[in-house]
Homo-oligomer: A and B are copies of this chain.
Amino acid sequence: MIGTSNDSSQDLFGLMSRLYPLCRSITGDGVRQTLKILQEYIPIEIREVATGTQVFDWTVPKEWNIRDAYIKNPEGRKIVDFQACNLHVVSYSAPIRKKVSLEILKAHCFTLPQHPQWVPYRTSYYKEDWGFCLSHQQLQELTDGDYEVFIDSSLKEGHLTYGECFLPGSTDDEILISVHVCHPSLANDNLSSMAVASSLYQQLSRLSLRYSYRFLFIPGTIGSITWLSQNESRVSRIRHGLVLACVGDAGSITYKRSRRGNAEIDRAAAQVLRDSGAEHRLTDFSPYGYDERQFCSPGFDLAVGCFMRTPHGTFPEYHTSADNLEFLRPESIADSISKCMGIFQLLEQNKTYINLNPKCEPQLGRRGLYSSIGGQTDGKIRELAMLWVLNLSDGTHNLLDIAEKSHLDFGLIHDAASNLSAHDLLKEV
């Protein structure tokens, strides 16, 4: 129940701890269980799309489920056990039960020589095969002999499962928040985003909103393609969007711009990060990354950026067993939530006003707009913000434009606009 949960870091860590052991993939019961747990935090509707459904150039694949898997050494001892760590099985592995030589076993094993203690994460979605992932150290210790490999999986007609939650605002214009839910026991990529998105829902649902917000919990690539394919007519309502990924590590924030490069979401994110005073990176769009690849494909070209902390592939723990719950930082999760809320708040507040007194400055003093403005230093900057808002509110500049031109914080500009509006000096266009 939404009502009974809260969005403290404590709670989000509880959520991520429950989700961590589930064996998610692009289809299957791991995703279903994940979405059901998330429903305690956010009223997700669970959608099922049948295997074989054509989604643009792709086809919804068979559903994959796994119950157990292990490797037994020549002595009959389980040396690799799916129950202990679901990364041990290559995702979408076909079922197998047989004895194989060490040589053949090795041909189906994946390790990370540069991180000999870690187990890698591997998939084989579109090529039927089987494989195990284990630590390089363990692999090197294996001696000759016959090994029993067992994977109790199934790859059958079924469904692709995803979650969707729509939070209506006062307009039909939508802000899209999309996270991928297809990774097994990996924490930063992407339990962190599921937790952040849930918390964003909870915070947003308490506010009076101008925009409607659409949350997607989808398997990467095939999930966004499926959703876009089935919601093509609805896509034009999406004004802004964020793909969230890797939002829980200790690094500073990276915002990757949408394909448009200078969309309002891109400028909003840049402004919020600049105003925060915290270190951050802004990168240009590239067609490699998460589901922004699909949202920003040329046939859609949506204003969807990607909000991350340390980007995929640039931290060694990425797609390994070292991306575990201990890799997450509570303060990073909290900061990601706060920055996203900052971006949404800016978008909600970014309106265009018109100066009702455009010829010369209005007399602010007579209206108490100088004296009512608190301490000296603070007062000066608030006065300056009012002068900027008055000067640029000619109908062609919204508040974000004014913040950018004045190099002042968006919050100051918004407060100035509110103040001036309250004194009938400004009117929303």
Q: Name A's B-contacting residues (CB within 8 A).
A: 55-58, 126-127, 221, 224-225, 228-229, 232, 259, 286-288, 293-294, 296-301, 355, 357-363, 365-366, 384, 387-388, 390-394, 406
Tell whether, in the assembled complex, residue A298 and residue B57 are in contact, meaning their CB atoms are under 8 Å apart.
Answer: no
CB neighbours (8 Å) of A294 from chain B are 360-361
Bound CA–CA A225/B357 (angstroms): 12
CB neighbours (8 Å) of A359 from chain B are 56, 228-229, 232, 297, 299-300
The chain B residue sitting closest to A221, CB to CB, is B361
Tell whether, in the assembled complex, residue B363 and residue A298 are in contact, meaning their CB atoms are under 8 Å apart.
Answer: no
The chain B residue sitting closest to A359, CB to CB, is B299
Bound CA–CA A387/B298 (angstroms): 11
The 9 nearest A-B residue pairs measured at CB: A299-B358, A299-B359, A287-B391, A287-B387, A298-B394, A57-B362, A225-B360, A298-B358, A294-B360
CB neighbours (8 Å) of A259 from chain B are 391
CB neighbours (8 Å) of A55 from chain B are 360
Tell whether, in the assembled complex, residue B126 and residue A365 are in contact, meaning their CB atoms are under 8 Å apart.
Answer: yes
Bound CA–CA A63/B406 (angstroms): 36
Tell whether, in the assembled complex, residue A393 and residue B360 are in contact, meaning their CB atoms are under 8 Å apart.
Answer: no
In whole Å, how far is A364's beta carbon from the nearest beta carbon of chain B?
Answer: 9
Given the contacts A286-B406, A287-B388, A388-B286, A361 and B297 also touching, CB distance less than 8 Å: yes
In whole Å, how far is A229's beta carbon from the nearest beta carbon of chain B?
Answer: 7
| Residue in B229, B362, B366 whose beta carbon sits within 8 Å of that of A360 in the complex | B229
Tell whether, in the assembled complex, residue A297 and residue B391 are in contact, meaning their CB atoms are under 8 Å apart.
Answer: yes
Residue in A300, A359, A362, A392 whose Cβ sees the most chain B Cβ within 10 Å: A359
| Residue in B127, B296, B393 whose beta carbon sits within 8 Å of that of A298 in the complex | B393
Residue in A286, A298, A299, A361 whose Cβ sees the most chain B Cβ within 10 Å: A298
29 A–B pairs (Cβ distance < 8 Å), ordered by A: A55-B360, A56-B357, A56-B360, A57-B357, A57-B360, A57-B361, A57-B362, A58-B360, A58-B363, A221-B361, A225-B360, A225-B361, A229-B360, A259-B391, A286-B384, A286-B387, A286-B388, A286-B406, A287-B361, A287-B390, A297-B358, A297-B359, A298-B355, A298-B390, A298-B391, A299-B359, A300-B359, A300-B360, A301-B394
Bound CA–CA A171/B240 (angstroms): 45
In whole Å, how far is A297's beta carbon from the nearest beta carbon of chain B?
Answer: 5
